[in-house]
Structure 1
Amino acid sequence: MIKRPRTDFWQVGIAPLPIQDVGASTLSAVRDRITWLPEAGRWRYLADPFGLVRGDALHVFVEAFDYRIKRAHIERHEFALADLSWRGQATVLEQPFHLSYPQVFEHGGETWMVPESYQAGEVALYRATDGSLNHWQRECALLAGLPGADASLIEHGGRWWMFYTLVGPNARDQRELHVAHAPALTGPWTPLAINPVRVSRDGARPAGRPFIGRDCVLTLPVQDSSTGYGSATRLLRFPVLTPEQVVIEAATERLTGNLVSHSHTAGLHTLNGCGDAFTLIDVKRIDRSRGKQWLDFKRRLRRLMG
């Protein structure tokens, strides 16, 4: 008997909770007040949310994945800040290779994005070219020649820090955490000599932008893939972070999809603070219908026919 395929579908939500207060109990307490992004459509999903608050709007940037082409582009969804009513969406970045994890942030009077683009063999920096946040220009490669994934940046202690993983054999990207540092956003970026700083499937691949916790310690959300890719998220604290030394304290608490959703309980693999009052999350359900096999067959046939 042919084994049924496993297809992951993600859903993005806006939780009314500051990132510094996120935990299993606090997420459960706000589950009925989470605002979910619209469904992406058949054989599509939205994941990896990052956000910006501008004026009266909350902008949520997401990976928009389509199983029919097995590739994603970056979309921006706009919400009214007052009541989180959805105002619409736009495709803001598309390349001939896969894009995801669109970390957006403001620095030096500009708005920047560092999307995952490991298929291009680089970690690249993009800049918004107008106030609409719909047009982006590639500025430079921060790390070139590396299949870096889910790069997560923060300015801390007078330096810029990048947490990332590397795509490679035997699910390397799910078990290794790497760190690089730079004197400025545009570099030059130097990977730590002691990389990888953590090797563990229960918490290595970045799951959101680093933030400063209530205890004033730099904290990084990471994926816990010990029971499957993106099955949960946990937090890593960095009481010591220098180019020569890294001390990591891993939280034992796992944040899972069932804390916030009745339908998408198989995973939670992104936590991102947005403004002072919101945390963006994504949760996963698993589909085992045979329609995916027919979809894959049609895609291979189109490729063979050019």
Structure 2
Amino acid sequence: MKLKIKKEFVYIAIFSIGLLIIISILLHDYLQGKLSHYGFCDKACLLLGGIFAIIGLVLFILERYKIYERKGFFSVRVNLFQACLVSVLFAFTCGISGIVYSYYSFSPAGAATREWTIGIYKSLSQEPFNFMEKDVVNPVLTASDVSDVPAKRVADPFLIRDGDMYYMFFEVDNVRTNQGDIGLAISKDGENWSYSQIVLDERFHLSYPCVFKWQDEYYMIPESAEVKSIRLYKGEQFPYRWSFVKTLLEGMDFVDSTIFYYGESWWLFTETGNDDTLRLYYAATPLGPWTEHPKSPIVQGDANIARPGGMVIVFDNRVVRYTQDCVPYYGNQVWAFEIVTLTKELYEEKRVSDRPILKGFDDWNTGGMHHISLCKVDVNNWIAAVDGTAKGF
């Protein structure tokens, strides 16, 4: 018996193949946290899927049109089919529209254009894992507080306590130059902040000013991925004047580099992928030379936990790193990981909690939070500088 396959089924198969290609690419990139970073292969597959879907749908409709002509446009069977076809096409259109809307609404590029502001949280325990807004009106710093350059957002705060004063270094997005500068705010109590000035401005974008102390001097490693390097600066007249010391590493897009001291060595986390690759280096001093850890990359292919999200904390011989979650969009929330083994040969970490350390619930940060910097106030209390963005663009 000769099997006869109707043309309609062939056309439906072509349409389905195209639809499956589109859905599989979108789903794959969503799970990888790369919805806004389509490469050539992604674009080619999406184009191929679209062509298959359109050709299959057009041929199917034309074939059905021939049937309509033979059986009449107003037969019960044809009307039922038309109703089903319209319903399927409507559902398909709504689904694709929803995917496209989500893609443009929650892409990292879109999130980066939102108005980020800075707030202060207080600890609820002796451990730096539970924080809340307590007796503080947030945000404590916004772009409107910046007085020496036109700014559209502030983010990536790093806290330093020196004597009785608190200093906060953070990114200022300069509207005039369309790049990031490093700003300074000062407080006497860690809660009420006054903007001071821009303290570091280069010809390229700067952000994430990781400030630390070494040999009784303050140093800073701001992000300078635009020039594919990790650069070290020294506070010549702390906190107002900083001078370039040397390039520590170069040749890759080093993002949100975070330095800390532990076990008689200096360690450096940095993200070098598409928000999904965390590398680790070590050195005897911050000046280097820096050697990549044999277990590096520590994280690869996971945009949920790779990109650093603030200063690494060392307390009670425990080491905790904070990481921003870039899925499904940049600046979603922040997780904490305790590093349980850290030597020049071994590395092991565990997630502190199954809940994020930072997740926005207030008007000023419901759109996302991606950074935390801690400062110990006394034996039992911490304060944290955090950033957040409201919903919308």
TM-score, shorter chain, exceeding 0.5: yes
For residues 243 and 256 of structure 2, what CA distance do their matches in structure 1 show? Answer: 19
1:43–1:141 CA distance, 2 compared to 1 (3 A): closer
2:174 equivalent in structure 1? 66
1:278 equivalent in structure 2? 383
Q: How does 1:1-306 map to 2 (within 5 A)?
A: 6=110, 7-17=113-123, 21-23=127-129, 26-28=130-132, 30-33=133-136, 35-41=138-144, 44-66=152-174, 69-81=177-189, 84-131=191-238, 133-166=239-272, 172-199=273-300, 200-213=302-315, 216-251=317-352, 252-259=354-361, 261-276=362-377, 277-288=382-393
Look up the SS of the partner of 1:33 in the other structure: coil
Report how many aligned residue pairs link the two structures. 276
The Cα offsets for residues 67-117 of structure 1, whole Å up to 9 and x where unpaired, read as 564311000011122x73333311000011000000112110111111001
Look up the SS of the partner of 1:196 in the other structure: coil
RMSD (CA atoms): 2.5
The Cα offsets for residues 254-298 of structure 1, whole Å up to 9 and x where unpaired, read as 134424x2232121111111243311111122433xxxxxxxxxx
User: Partner amino acid for 1:177?
Assistant: L
Deviation for aligned residue 1:194:
3.0
1:18–1:67 CA distance, 2 compared to 1 (3 A): farther
User: Partner amino acid for 2:246?
Assistant: C
User: Partner amino acid for 2:314?
Assistant: I
For residues 374 and 167 of structure 2, what CA distance do their matches in structure 1 show? Answer: 12
Q: Is the helix fraction higher in 1 or 2?
A: 2
Percent identity between the aligned chains? 24
Between stretches 46-55 and 94-103, larger displacement belongs to: 46-55
User: Partner amino acid for 2:383?
Assistant: F
User: Partner amino acid for 1:253?
Assistant: R
1:302 equivalent in structure 2? none
The Cα offsets for residues 158-204 of structure 1, whole Å up to 9 and x where unpaired, read as 111001101xxxxx341111100001111110112332111212111
Look up the SS of the partner of 1:253 in the other structure: coil
Structure 2 runs not aligned, ≥5 long:
1-96, 145-149
| TM-score normalised by L of structure 2 | 0.65
Look up the SS of the partner of 2:155 in the other structure: strand
1:33–1:158 CA distance, 2 compared to 1 (3 A): same
For residues 192 and 364 of structure 2, what CA distance do their matches in structure 1 show? Answer: 22
Which consecutive segments of 4 or more residues in structure 1 shift more than 4 A? Answer: 1-5
For residues 19 and 265 of structure 1, what CA distance do their matches in structure 2 show? Answer: 24
Larger Rg: 2
User: Partner amino acid for 1:271?
Assistant: I
For residues 280 and 119 of structure 2, what CA distance do their matches in structure 1 show? Answer: 28
Structure 1 runs not aligned, ≥5 long:
167-171, 289-306
For residues 234 and 275 of structure 1, what CA distance do their matches in structure 2 show? Answer: 19
1:18–1:45 CA distance, 2 compared to 1 (3 A): farther
1:143–1:19 CA distance, 2 compared to 1 (3 A): farther
